[in-house]
Amino acid sequence: MNFGNGAILAGMALGAIPVIIHLINRQRAKLRRFAAIDFLLLSDKRLARKLKLKQIMVLALRVLLLMALAFALAKPYVEPDLVATADTSDPGGIALVIDDSMSMQTLAPDGRTLLDHALERARELVGSGGSRTSFAVIAAGRPARLLTKGLTYDKEAVERALDRFDQDAARPRGADLAAALDEAGRVLSESPEPRRQVYVIGDQAAHAWRFGTLPWNYVPVSNVDLIDVRGGAPIDNLAVTGVTVTKGGPVSEPVLEVEVGVINYGLSGRTAQVELELGDKVVADTVTAPAGEQATVTFKLRAPKDVTGGSVSVVPDALPIDDSWVFTMGQTHAINVLVVNGAPRSVPWQDELFFLRAALRARQVGDVALNPMFATSAELKPGQINASDVVVLANVGKLTREQQLALHNFVEKGGGLLVTGGDSFGDDANGSYGDLLPYPIRATKTVAKANDPAAALSALTVATASFEHPVMQVFDGIEDASLFKAHVYSYLLIDTADRPGSKVIASYTGGIPALVEGVIGRGRTMLLTTTLDMDWSDLAIRSSFLPLVQRACQYLGKALDRPGGPGHLVGEGLHVPLPEGVGPLTLVRPDGTEIPREETPDDTAAGTLYIEAPDQVGQYLLMRAGDRRHAVHFAVNADRAESDLTPVTADAERAIIAEMTRDNGILPDAGVAEPAMTAAAAGGENRNTILWPYILAGLFLLFGAEAWLVVRN
């Protein structure tokens, strides 16, 4: 038996209080000679014994009462037998949350995948369930799915749901335990039985348990049991995290520079051979990656003709799916940037976008390419917005209601919005933009005239920046970066009163905000308080201008977020440029299946087609009327977040479950106090038996018995 608050056990000494009081009273008892003592002693000895017994019982009950109170407050529980088979025969509702994310494709020593072990364990639980036990099966791979029709007593239906895992196993999913647990809670809330239990069966990898926000604080769940199908043992894993292809050399004989990233999630450093396959060419090199770190290896080779893409691989290990990376030669993961010109000019160098146009088109080695599209504010349509990854509103002082709503929905769904200042902004800008601006604009301020020879003396400069921010990271450590030398003559003064999610990234002299960021739903917004041309500042002619705007667009397009490097991931939607020509569109998947796609007028206007959640790793092809020559190629890889197989620590597990069960008001400490929670091997379980509620109930009975005895006397 263990205790949640063992220190409180010392309080059991309180049980001595009634005895001490009794002894003191005995000492203080007044001696009285009494003639009728025979009637007091009760000549009937049976009655005398009964009285004495009653006195002892009252004393014992009081002692027990105090000791039991301290015992209950110490929160006792009984450790489970780790090798005991789970008892699911009691009536109740059980949610089987099975992790079918990519990491569950890891091979166990017996050659079967962890998912196979998880399904076997789930089948055992279902088999041991009684006729009054209902089950629900929930897959924890993204998106989390309920595979049964809620809780069901039909074991055949549960078996069919488990069989579906085998059919879906090929798709490499990320883990979404938060959503799966949320679903489990919802399903269990429909259970008529008081016992509601959740089994989370998986590899219990740390990455799966990193929730942004914890789910199901409303769920009335009796217990959460974690079953680690790999027995808590760490598994070494090497993964290819990304490939960047750069073309160089003469056009007649281009040279490819292929940079490959490899990460080592093992406990010790590893040297591995990396193979690059490009058409019929195969080249190899070795890479040494220290434990827990990433290393890169670069291949330089002549580009083979008519090769659209290739792959990189390392020697297969326990998790084969992340040992290779497919890529395409063309621009396959560019961020579509829609730039809206709020102040177009007929003279090119006076145009608002003169400098930005050049900056976005420039391509830097190793960076995510940007695919800029241009429009004026009058031409801006919702269809164009939805076809983009990032929208830049350059000196657009006012939006129509339709545009504002379209932009709001766009950002809320994950899009990025960059707003830059200019003289188009008036008093009605705040109302027009609504919550699209990270902070509301108060006024336009001018500190100097751009053409004034003395302007440099009174102009503002960027004085401080948050170098932890992905946009500013490139300037970290560069003391003489031109960003901090640019002169700003006018700016939009904003009100930085508290707004959830908004923050200042860079400031001018005197703490005046220069670049700020906000959040709407899944998307981000940024506001640059000066212009992108030469009207309000000379930032556009500084060398820092290009990395600033490019990284801002990449950040807003979430290209800087991906731990596995640039590229499209399984399960994530993407916009693919439409191939040239006319005719019906066909999507060819890596396994060769062809899927006809319809092209809407919006797609035509935007020049892209949205592909929803591709589910296979490999090269895809989008072609018109069977014309493969002019087809657009793109590659999709698995999310490398699943490559880290480090098991979650017992402390982290405890903290998470404690947090999850604390607010449900049923059993605040369910399964929390067990120190070796993750030690439960496959075939075992770790359900604690909480004792203190029963002790408390007994305490009430003791109290009632004591009161009854005293009153009866």
Residues that bind other proteins (CB under 8 A): 25-26, 28-42, 47, 51, 54-55, 713
Minimum CB distance to other proteins, residue 56 (Å)? 12
Q: Give dist(CA 392, CA 382) in Å, integer.
A: 14
| Pair 612, 573: CB distance under 8 Å | yes
Please name the amino acid found at residue 274.
V
**Of 655 and 709, which CB lies nearer to other proteins in the complex structure?**
709
Cβ atoms < 10 Å from Cβ of 447: 16
Shortest spacing between CB 15 and other proteins, in angstroms = 20
Tell me which amino acid residue 51 is.
L
Q: What is the DSSP string of 392-423?
A: EEES-----HHHHHHHHHHHHTT-EEEEE--T
Q: Looking up tokens 């590899």, which residue turns up?
A: 203
Minimum CB separation of residue 41 from other proteins in Å reads 6
CB atoms closer than 10 angstroms to residue 617: 22
Q: 3-state SS of 229-283? A: CCCCCCCCCEEEEEEEEEEECCCCCCEEEEEEEEEECCCCCEEEEEEEEECCEEE
Q: Are 559 and 565 in contact (CB under 8 A)?
A: no
**Identity of the residue, 7 or 40, whose beta carbon is nearer to other proteins in the bound complex:** 40
Provide the minimum distance between the beta carbon of 687 and other proteins in the complex, in angstroms, as a whole number.
47
Least separation in angstroms between residue 705's CB and other proteins is: 16
Min separation Cβ 22 and other proteins, Å? 9
Contact 83, 684 (CB under 8 A): yes
Name the burial class of residue 608, with classes exposed (0-12), middle (13-18) and buried (19+) by CB atoms within 10 angstroms of its CB: buried
Minimum Å gap between C-beta 704 and other proteins is 19
Between 46 and 629, CB nearer to other proteins = 46
Please identify, using beta-carbon distances, which residue of 681 and 709 lies nearer to other proteins.
709
Q: Are 548 and 556 within 8 A, CB to CB?
A: no
> Least CB distance from residue 37 to other proteins, whole Å?
4
Q: In angstroms, what is the minimal distance from the CB of 62 to other proteins?
A: 13
Helix (H) or strand (E) holding 16: helix 16-28
Closer to other proteins by CB, 53 or 676: give it.
53
CA angle, residues 631, 632, 636, in degrees to nearest 5 = 135
CA 374 to chain centre: 33
Least separation in angstroms between residue 67's CB and other proteins is 22
| CB nearer to other proteins: pick between 24 and 605 | 24
Q: Which whole-number Å values give the CA distances from 290 to 142, 261, 293, 600, in the listed order? A: 31, 13, 5, 50
Q: Which is nearer to other proteins, 61 or 303 (CB)?
A: 61
Task: Please return the burial class of 11, using the count of CB atoms within 10 Å of its CB with bins 0-12, 13-18 and 19+.
Answer: middle
Query: Smaller CB distance to other proteins: residue 535 or 706?
Result: 706
Identity of the residue, 32 or 305, whose beta carbon is nearer to other proteins in the bound complex: 32
Q: Which is nearer to other proteins, 53 or 443 (CB)?
A: 53
Task: Please count the other Cβ atoms lying within 10 Å of the Cβ belonging to residue 708.
Answer: 11
